[in-house]
């Protein structure tokens, strides 16, 4: 079996995403978890660049890298400095989590194996940024200005809540 360079790069990036995703949710230190999440987002941007979606790759890097920096700041500010250990998870919750993970993986594998995945009708290549911007920030049907504004207000409320929690200590 001959593996081409793009396939090898994709397999490497996919392996980085899978391993770092698992490490993100299993580590007990919040800064390490944020660092692993950063690697996941970088590898996702690498897949976008490999698919010749340079605009999406650049947005992935700029938006999520900035988000991870904010996550670092809040994780440093909001975590206690007395190095408390996390409470042990009860066996029932642990097995419920394992059962949910195995069920989700089985469902994903079943759907992947039974779906036919028709050939895409999209022309490969770059999508015009004006079309993306109009779709995201327009006010007409199937455009996303209102949800974007609602999410920005929600994030602002979360930031203010985090600052208030940090100031009480």
| pLDDT, tens digit (0-9, with 9 covering 90-100), for 33-61 | 888 988 999 999 999 988 888 888 888 88
Residue 115, pLDDT score: 82
What pTM was computed for the model?
0.55
Centre a 10 Å sphere on the Cβ of residue 88 and count the other Cβ atoms it contains. Answer: 8
Average pLDDT taken over every residue of the chain: 81
The pLDDT of residue 16 is above 90: yes
Looking up tokens 């993100």 gives: 24
Rounded CA-CA distance 109/96 in Å is: 20
Mean pLDDT, rounded, for 79-105: 77
Residue 107 tokens read as 């469902």
pLDDT at 114: 87
Mean pLDDT computed over 67-78: 74
Whether the per-residue pLDDT at 20 is higher than 90: the answer is: yes
Instruction: Specify the 3-state DSSP secondary structure of 89.
Output: coil
pLDDT digit string, tens, across residues 133-143: 777 777 777 77
In the block, tokens 């299993």 appear at 26
Q: List, by residue range, all CATH 1.20.120.1200 domains of the chain.
A: 1-79
User: What's the CATH number for 1-79?
Assistant: 1.20.120.1200
- Which candidate, 14, 63, 6, places its Cα nearest to that of 43? 14
């Amino acid at each position: 079996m001959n593996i081409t360079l793009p396939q090898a790069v994709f397999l490497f990036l996919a392996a980085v995403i899978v391993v770092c995703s698992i490490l993100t949710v299993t580590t007990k230190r919040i800064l390490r978890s944020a660092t692993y999440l950063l690697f996941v987002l970088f590898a996702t941007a690498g897949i976008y660049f490999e698919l010749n979606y340079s605009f999406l790759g650049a947005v992935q890097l700029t938006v999520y890298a900035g988000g991870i920096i904010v996550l670092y700041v809040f994780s440093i500010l909001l975590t206690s400095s007395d190095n408390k250990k996390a409470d042990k998870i009860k066996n029932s919750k642990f097995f419920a989590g394992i059962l949910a993970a195995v069920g989700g993986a089985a469902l994903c594998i079943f759907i992947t194996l039974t779906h036919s995945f028709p050939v895409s009708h999209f022309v490969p290549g770059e999508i015009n940024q004006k079309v993306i911007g109009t779709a995201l920030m327009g006010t007409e049907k199937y455009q996303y200005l209102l949800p974007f504004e609602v999410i920005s207000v929600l994030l602002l409320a979360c930031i203010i809540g985090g600052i208030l929690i940090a100031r009480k200590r």
